[in-house]
Amino acid sequence: MIVVKAFGHVKEVLGSELLVNRELIDVKSLRDYLGNEYPTIVWSTVAIAVNKKYVQDPDPISPGDEIALIPPVSGG
């Protein structure tokens, strides 16, 4: 079980925390899962953070990691 935090417009579709009940080994596998489950979101514009750092598709995901979906930021 992996807990994924969501923000901005992504949160309005997924809720603030999404529980993913399957094994994900890397960021790419998370992206594939999200793309299948929530096809209305343009995932190519959404960055992913693991343990509060931006990551790329080949980066690994381990049990207990804090994962977050970061739509385009608009602070300031």
Partner 1 sequence: MVQLVEHIDLNEVYKLLADSKAGGTCVFVGTVRNHTPQREDAEVTDLRFEAYDEMALAEMEKIRQEAIEKWGLHQAVMIHAVGKKEVGEPVVAVGVASSHRKEAFPACQFLIDELKKSVPIWKKEFFTDSSHWVSPTP
Which residue's CB is nearer to partner 1, number 39 or number 76? 76
**Of these, 21, 36, 40, 74, which contacts partner 1 (CB under 8 A)?**
74
Segment 7 to 36, residues that bind partner 1, using CB under 8 A? 7-9
Strands (E), the chain: 2-6, 17-20, 47-50, 53-55, 67-70
Structure tokens at 58: 């080949």
Nearest to 9 by CA among 42, 32, 33, 35: 42
Would you give the binding string for partner 1 spanning residues 31-60, x where CB under 8 A is met?
------------------x--xxx------
Among 26, 43, 65, 71, binds partner 1 (CB under 8 A): 71
Pairwise CA distance, residues 44 & 63, whole Å: 24
Interface residues with partner 1 (CB under 8 A) are 5, 7-9, 49, 52-54, 68, 70-76
